[in-house]
Amino acid sequence: MPLHAENFQVYPEALGPGTEVGTWRVIERLGVGGFGAVYRVEDMARPGEFYALKLALRPGDQRAEREVTLLMVKAVHPNVVRFHACGRWPHPRTGYLYFVMDWVAGRPLDTWAEEVNPTFRELAQVAGKVALAFAALHGTGVWHRDVKPAHILVRESDSEPVLIDFGIGDYAGAATITEQTVPPGTLHLRSPESVRFHRENHGRPGARYEYQRTDDLYALGISLYRAVTGHYPFPLHLPPDMLYLAIEGQTPPAPADFNPRTPRALSDVIMRLMAKKPQERYPTGAELHAALMAAASFGQSSTWEASLFEWEEERGTEQEPGAATRRRIRRPEWPTHSATAPAPRLVIAHALPLRDVVEVGQEPLAGEPLVRQRLLSPVLVVAVLLMVSVGLAAWGIWLWEPGSASNARGPEPRSDEVSLRVSLREVAPVETLPEAVPATAPLMVEATAVAAAPPAALTKEDAPVMKESKSSASALKVGMKAMSVAGACLNLACSGPQVRSAPPPEDCPPGAMEAMNELGIKRGNAQVFVFDVIKGEPHVITVHEGNTTVRLGDEWKGLRGGGLLYGKLHLSDRVYGRFTWLRTQDRTYPVCIELLSSRRERGLERKPGSDADSALIWTTGYANPVDHFE
């Protein structure tokens, strides 16, 4: 018998299987987060189709409304969980806000790393896609603000990473929800600069940390560190003060010094992401993606083909004699002092009385994380207690607002709930603002002037869902405030399908002709490329609109050792590609290269199975140098 909300007290975090929320039937609870409970649900109109439904823990929760706005409008991207519908429950006007999204059958990044034990190439692929997703989101002024392994699900079916939980996400021009000095978030993934800002500004009226794209990228670095070493760089169980001291002052061992299977180039990328100063990190997701792809494609293949960890056998216990032997990864031991280069030192410039104490050298215990060993030295504990006594109140308010779910009483139950569906098959993905692509700073061509504007057909203006001009952003903001969120769902659902066309003519980026001449890349002299820069062999892959990378051979004179092309794909009747950067082993050049099919026609043919958001294509084609994009 179906369960109706009228029959019982509503506890949004504890809906039983069979509960009907709008037109969705609860199958199981997936988990409860800071602001909402997530359930796997079945679409009652289409039995057998499963989705994830997030139900706010409090009625009128602004964070839930913000998450709906982000997922429905702002953060639409192939590697961000796809939004389907929203409504209120049990009462359609006054109930708890819920929204329905794709149910991602997969594993969080850290669990994937340990259970699947992928190769370093596969990890680089996943990380590269997340980096590109950030390039797109940050380009339109969207920040996730709670990047962690649990929020990067790796889909079982195709190993695509999917970003979830934008519950504390934000976008440019959005109204302020909390008055905290720094936004809420997960403690051990906070960037050093946000920790410093809090320390220096807590209690100062109006002081608010301005979240940057480098904060999201730093947290991605910590997540990747966890994936390749099996450990977080800073121990999670430390009290916040101690954790923050470590984040600000401690450099953890490099992943390659820790898990020796890690390719040095990947280890270096992760360490750069975790640099203490934001200006020493990759400034954009696109540059991070470029660095990952270059590391993986120019690196020695045997190292990159290795799985992250060694496997070890786990025997069945005596109680279960017939139990099958299971495999599990051998987690690398945290390096001992002697195993690493000079032990990292805590430099705590802000806490002068602590500095000398903290730097007292103590041999770490074998197998214990350096951070933990050093921080837990008795002298330091005393010092930190001093800090705690001074700063406890300050740090305390960093924690998540406690979910008051158990106190939240549902409004009087009603069964006339409605939900409003939005078909996002018709909604274009977010597009990146022109972002300079790749390369390590000293080797890079002057990027600012060369940053190719995205093809006109791909600009934000053409896609209503992506508009980011000040006026549209504020109009949306005002609109969202004026309407109920359910109303907003309806309003946006009516924006209708968008017709896409082939990209219009476009100039080459400045300097492209000179650079191509220097490299011996002649117009009309096309060479073969592969889409899957990491795997290489031709096969069919799924691509999406937006940034992409392809790998070239070394047919062009200046490309000894091959090269990587960076550009954008445009999906319409065919898959059109325009590439504006070329990275060789040691430099990055502006170029003007379009994509031809193996029959030398513009654009690649879409294979059956493609849909509005994605296209199946063969991974090979021709890279054709041109003097303008037709």
Ligand X SMILES: Nc1ncnc2c1ncn2[C@@H]1O[C@H](COP(=O)(O)OP(=O)(O)OP(=O)(O)O)[C@@H](O)[C@H]1O
Nearer Cβ to ligand X, position 54 or 544? Answer: 54
The partner residues of 87 in beta bridges, in order of sequence, read: 98, 419
In the list 15, 21, 41, 52, the residue contacting ligand X (rule: CB under 6 A) is 52
In the list 103, 218, 531, 556, the residue contacting ligand X (rule: CB under 6 A) is 103
Beta carbon of residue 40, minimum distance to ligand X (angstroms, whole number): 7
- Single out the segment in contact with ligand X by CB under 6 A; choices: 99-107, 111-119, 367-375, 597-605: 99-107
Helices 285-298 and 264-273: crossing angle, nearest 10°?
Answer: 170
Beta carbon of residue 476, minimum distance to ligand X (angstroms, whole number): 24
Beta carbon of residue 115, minimum distance to ligand X (angstroms, whole number): 14
The yes or no reply on residue 329 touching ligand X (CB under 6 A) is: no
Those residues with Cβ within 8 angstroms of residue 219's Cβ, 6 or more apart along the chain or in another chain: 146, 147, 148, 186, 189, 190, 191
544, 509, 526, 521: which is closest to 601 by C-alpha? 526
Compute the Cα dihedral for 589, 136, 272, 232 and give only its sign. Answer: negative
Q: 395-426 b/e with 16+ CB inside 10 Å = b?
A: beebeeeebebeebebeebbeebebbbbebee
The yes or no reply on residue 61 touching ligand X (CB under 6 A) is: no
The yes or no reply on residue 36 touching ligand X (CB under 6 A) is: yes
Beta carbon of residue 100, minimum distance to ligand X (angstroms, whole number): 9
Nearer Cβ to ligand X, position 186 or 284? Answer: 186
**Number of residues in contact with ligand X, rule: CB under 6 A?**
17
In the list 17, 31, 316, 520, the residue contacting ligand X (rule: CB under 6 A) is 31
- Single out the segment in contact with ligand X by CB under 6 A; choices: 28-36, 233-241, 354-362, 612-620: 28-36
Encoded one letter per residue, x for contact with ligand X by CB under 6 A and - for no contact, window 352-381 reads ------------------------------
Beta carbon of residue 166, minimum distance to ligand X (angstroms, whole number): 9
Query: What are the percentages of helix, strand and coil residues in the chain, rounded to 5?
Result: 35, 20, 45
Structure-token pair, residue 41: 């649900």
Residue nearest to ligand X (CB): 33
Between CA 548 and CA 285 the distance in angstroms is 12
Nearer Cβ to ligand X, position 11 or 298? Answer: 11
Residue 365 CB neighbours (<10 A)? 13
Between CA 588 and CA 163 the distance in angstroms is 30
The yes or no reply on residue 55 touching ligand X (CB under 6 A) is: no
The yes or no reply on residue 192 touching ligand X (CB under 6 A) is: no
Beta carbon of residue 403, minimum distance to ligand X (angstroms, whole number): 9
Beta carbon of residue 77, minimum distance to ligand X (angstroms, whole number): 14
Those residues with Cβ within 8 angstroms of residue 480's Cβ, 6 or more apart along the chain or in another chain: 65, 69, 488
Between CA 125 and CA 541 the distance in angstroms is 13
Give SS3 for 580. strand
In the list 3, 27, 150, 388, the residue contacting ligand X (rule: CB under 6 A) is 150
Beta carbon of residue 153, minimum distance to ligand X (angstroms, whole number): 6
The yes or no reply on residue 12 touching ligand X (CB under 6 A) is: no
Between CA 187 and CA 398 the distance in angstroms is 8
Number of H helices, E strands in the chain: 16, 22
Nearer Cβ to ligand X, position 189 or 296? Answer: 189
Between CA 238 and CA 56 the distance in angstroms is 30
The yes or no reply on residue 101 touching ligand X (CB under 6 A) is: yes
Between CA 560 and CA 236 the distance in angstroms is 46
The yes or no reply on residue 403 touching ligand X (CB under 6 A) is: no
The yes or no reply on residue 34 touching ligand X (CB under 6 A) is: yes
Nearer Cβ to ligand X, position 187 or 291? Answer: 187
The yes or no reply on residue 33 touching ligand X (CB under 6 A) is: yes
Between CA 405 and CA 479 the distance in angstroms is 28
The yes or no reply on residue 165 touching ligand X (CB under 6 A) is: yes
The partner residues of 564 in beta bridges, in order of sequence, read: 551, 583
Compute the Cα dihedral for 30, 32, 38, 39 and give only its sign. Answer: positive
Beta carbon of residue 167, minimum distance to ligand X (angstroms, whole number): 5
Give SS3 for 198. helix
- Single out the segment in contact with ligand X by CB under 6 A; choices: 8-16, 159-167, 312-320, 493-501: 159-167
The yes or no reply on residue 28 touching ligand X (CB under 6 A) is: no
Between CA 356 and CA 345 the distance in angstroms is 11
The yes or no reply on residue 167 touching ligand X (CB under 6 A) is: yes
Residue 619 CB neighbours (<10 A)? 20
- Single out the segment in contact with ligand X by CB under 6 A; choices: 14-22, 29-37, 444-452, 484-492: 29-37
Chain center to CA of 191:
15
Encoded one letter per residue, x for contact with ligand X by CB under 6 A and - for no contact, window 130-149 reads ----------------x---
Nearer Cβ to ligand X, position 104 or 458? Answer: 104
- Binding-site residues for ATP, in ranges, read 54
Beta carbon of residue 517, minimum distance to ligand X (angstroms, whole number): 49
Between CA 591 and CA 452 the distance in angstroms is 10
Residue 85 near residue 422, CB atoms below 8 Å:
yes
Residues that bind ligand X (CB under 6 A): 30-31, 33-34, 36, 38, 52, 81, 101-104, 146, 150, 164-165, 167
